[in-house]
Chain A
């Protein structure tokens, strides 16, 4: 089942898990069971599966937001115990601070860890330009559309300087067009900053389109049913989604998920 786990090569694994599990309510709810994997530096991993299969749980474990109940989990070879600066997380909602301009929102992670310098401000502005918001540096969240707010949240995520990025359905609340555009930009950006990325989605095609590897997850109990390798180079054009190879992969994932999708 777990191809990667059978050949653990610690040296080139950014995120590694062995028999990782999480239960809630004193064991009553098994949110995640026996997850084992190794994620290569700079790779893009999609987590796909129906609601309740433990996708958010896995991300929150890696982020150090919740404690595991079994198994082991390392980021950069170090056991995860608390939230850490080399791991950054982005949520389905932008969760921006309404009283801060876009730049100030992007600067929040820096402010939390140290005094903000002129360089930090320039960096934040540069990130906002990178996500296509060069004219909105001093706009407040209420003045931005949903898609623009998520772009600010993405810039804020990059400002953390983390090289492991966790994105939990980051564009899930946006319309189809905006989501597709942001996906393409995300692919370009994570390549540019050479981050290792874990991306949660409900959408099979989106999962495959973005990733080097797709973790296909099934619920009750939540587990990684299969890790599917995606052989295309990144970044890739949207048009790849119409190729036969791509659709074979979609069919494969759909098959694993069974009736649910």
Chain B
């Protein structure tokens, strides 16, 4: 956790545990800031047009989620877009990364293009994609694929290339085939670093979706933010932005959970779970 956890402190004081006391402090600071914002706005120190009051943001939440309930559709649209682009970008990135990783010749000749691609802000290509694919879901997804393809590609590539020499020698000494070496050594070995790439990709996919929706503002949470801002309905725009904050947090947590499941040997709980599973599968091993 944090560095502070390493500092020994008396666990109990005044009947509350350290954890609970910290939680209370965090909550007080947060609520204090919100209150300060509200007060500043009410005293006229903040222009409520651009800096809506917390209370009006809260009201907007209620409006867009329940009274008008218009946010659901846009949220859904964006989510589908993000997921489609993320999956597409992942398959492309991991697939190409593995292909390039395994083939030294391809790797050598592809390298300059990878460097050029890495140096170019990929979002700059977005208008070109729209020109090529026209308005609609396909060009939006193409933009997302483009922005989230790179991290899985690079990570898979380096994961596959950086296989431990000694382990490779072990597999050779066992007479393992190329396919066995790939399935039993190279791929599992690359899993943690591929997962790290996937985390980056999902975050990028969300940003990519928003940009795509800013450009084609027909639907989606991005276009909703755009429309609210243009109408100077800042409270609702903020409600949308905070929705994305929560979404981003959930995505982050979800990926973390997935990472822990898939790269189980990198954490204690995962190892314990798999060890128990294996023990149950193998059953009695006494001779």
Contacts and interface: CB of A to CB of B under 8 A. Distances in A.
A95 B164 CA distance: 9
B271 interface: yes
Interface stretch (A44-52, A135-143, A186-194): A135-143
Interface in A68-95: 82-85, 87-89, 91, 93, 95
B172 interface: yes
B59 interface: no
Interface string A128-159: 00000000011110110000000000000000
B275 A139 contact: yes
A82 B175 contact: yes
A109 B169 CA distance: 13
B202 to A, nearest CB: 23
B175 A85 contact: yes
B278 interface: yes
A111 B169 CA distance: 17
A103 B188 contact: no
Given A97-B167, A103-B278, A126 B287 contact: yes
Contact of B285 (A64, A97, A137): A137
B285 A125 contact: yes
A87 B171 CA distance: 13
A85 B175 CA distance: 7
Given A137-B285, A142-B265, A112 B174 contact: yes
Contacts of B170: 89, 91, 95
A93 B168 CA distance: 13
Interface string B139-162: 000000000000000000000000
B164 A138 contact: no
A22 B193 CA distance: 38
B171 to A, nearest CB: 8
Nearest to A89: B173
A113 B285 contact: no
A112 B173 CA distance: 11
A124 B279 CA distance: 13
Contacts of B275: 101, 138-140
Interface residues of B, number: 29
A98 B184 CA distance: 11
Interface residues of A, number: 36
Given A101-B274, A104-B278, A138-B278, A83 B285 contact: no
Residue among B167, B175, B185, B286 with the highest chain A CB neighbour number at 10 A: B175
A99 B185 CA distance: 10
A83 B264 contact: no
Contact of B271 (A64, A103, A112, A143): A143
A199 B287 CA distance: 30
Residue of B167, B173, B285 with highest tally of chain A CB at under 10 A: B173
A205 B278 CA distance: 42
Given A91-B166, A91-B169, A139-B275, A84 B285 contact: no
Nearest to B268: A143
B177 to A, nearest CB: 8
Interface string A113-129: 10000000110111000
A63 B173 contact: yes
A172 to B, nearest CB: 13
Interface string B174-197: 111000100011001101000000
Contacts of A103: 278, 282, 285
A99 B172 contact: no
A160 interface: yes
Given A101-B275, A101-B278, A140-B265, A88 B173 contact: yes
A46 B180 CA distance: 33
Contacts of A228: none
Contacts of B278: 101, 103-104, 138
A63 to B, nearest CB: 5
A112 B166 contact: no
- 10 closest A-B pairs by beta carbon, nearest first, are A125-B285, A138-B275, A89-B173, A99-B265, A112-B176, A83-B175, A112-B174, A95-B166, A140-B271, A95-B170
Given A99-B264, A112-B175, 10 more contacts: A85-B175, A87-B173, A88-B173, A112-B171, A112-B174, A112-B184, A121-B282, A124-B285, A140-B271, A142-B271
7 contacts: A91-B170, A95-B164, A104-B278, A112-B175, A112-B180, A122-B287, A125-B285
